[in-house]
Structure 1
Amino acid sequence: MKRILLLTILSLTIQYSFGQACGIYRIKYVGTIKSESAKIEKIKLPTIEFLHGLEDKSLEKKFIEINLTSNKIDTKLASHLTSYLYEKAENLLKFYKTKKESIPINITVTRNGKKEQIQTELTWSNIQISKIDDEKFGNLFELNLNEINIK
């Protein structure tokens, strides 16, 4: 019994002493894809881990794939636990700019009955970021990708 009590106290002490995460934040990707000659099927957007500069060889960590029923992008992602607290959209954008020069986007389209992969890079100057107030845990930031034109 003394050992269990000692291990519990030791475990709680370590947990409180070496805690590293302050919280999470969320991002909401919005935008539209415009194409006159192709049907938009899917889009792969960078994960928050990728935007933070974490390099991993697995594609699941770099991109999230979204099936689109229309040409509108509207999806939310939650961050991993982070020791950074982002209260202002400008601070988050400055941080992202230090990690990546642009955002890679992969789009799957169907053209003439064949599926094609289209890769494009969006620069930070073409993306607006704003904070949205909602009642959920963690700050919500909207990344507006605006209109992505596919030829």
Structure 2
Amino acid sequence: MKRILILTILSLTIQYSFGQACGIYRIKYSGNIKAESLKIEKIKLPTIQFLHGLESENSEKMFIEIEPKTNEIDIELVSPLTSHLYEKAENLLKFYTTKNESFPIIIILENETKKEIFTELIWDNIQIIKLEDGKFGNLFEINLNEINIK
């Protein structure tokens, strides 16, 4: 009985320590919003679950909301999903484009009515590169470049 308990504890420890190490990755959103004389209150960016096609367009978990200090987009997300496909940026971009026709983003302007601007970026204008930062898991930067709001 003592051996079974020790083996069970050892097995659970190994599983929790190394269970998802094969494909954990992180994404860093970057970009700039050019909004002439408009103050941006919040920006909503798609979650990794949505980019994987696991969340519908009307889901609460479709977007992550950030409050930018400037008009710069700069946030890092950790994927709760695992796969060996995410070693190269090209594979990740190809996977995302098969799951979503475009890249949705919502910009909330700071004014009396809190106007929301929904825009869809095309994948041809988005770059994904792999960054080396020495931390656990692969880090990919999704560069949204400059987004113009009129």
Normalised to the residue count of structure 2, the TM-score between the two structures is: 0.84
Q: Tell me the equivalent position of 1:79.
A: 79
**Residue 124 (structure 2) pairs with residue 125 (structure 1):** yes
Q: Tell me the equivalent position of 1:142.
A: 141
Q: Of Structure 1 and Structure 2, which has the larger fraction of its residues in strand?
A: 1
* Structure 1 runs, 4 residues or longer, greater than 6 Å off: none
8 Å CA contact 2:29, 2:76 repeated in 1: yes
Instruction: Using the TM superposition, give the Cα deviation of residue 10 of structure 1 relative to its aligned residue in structure 2, in angstroms.
Output: 5.7
Q: Tell me the equivalent position of 1:54.
A: 54
Instruction: Using the TM superposition, give the Cα deviation of residue 79 of structure 1 relative to its aligned residue in structure 2, in angstroms.
Output: 0.4
Question: Following superposition of structure 1 onto structure 2, how do residues 1-151 of structure 1 map, counting pairs within 5 Å?
Answer: 2=1, 5-6=3-4, 9=7, 12=11, 22-55=22-55, 58-59=59-60, 61-111=61-111, 113-151=112-150
List runs of 5+ in structure 1 lacking aligned partners.
none
List runs of 5+ in structure 2 lacking aligned partners.
none
Alpha-carbon separation, structure 2, partners of 1:7 and 1:26: 36
Tell me how many residue pairs correspond in the alignment: 145
Normalised to the residue count of structure 1, the TM-score between the two structures is: 0.84
8 Å CA contact 2:27, 2:139 repeated in 1: yes
The one-character-per-residue Cα deviations of 1:24-60 (angstroms, maximum 9, x if unpaired) are 101110001111142111000011111111025641x
- Aligned-pair identity in percent equals 66
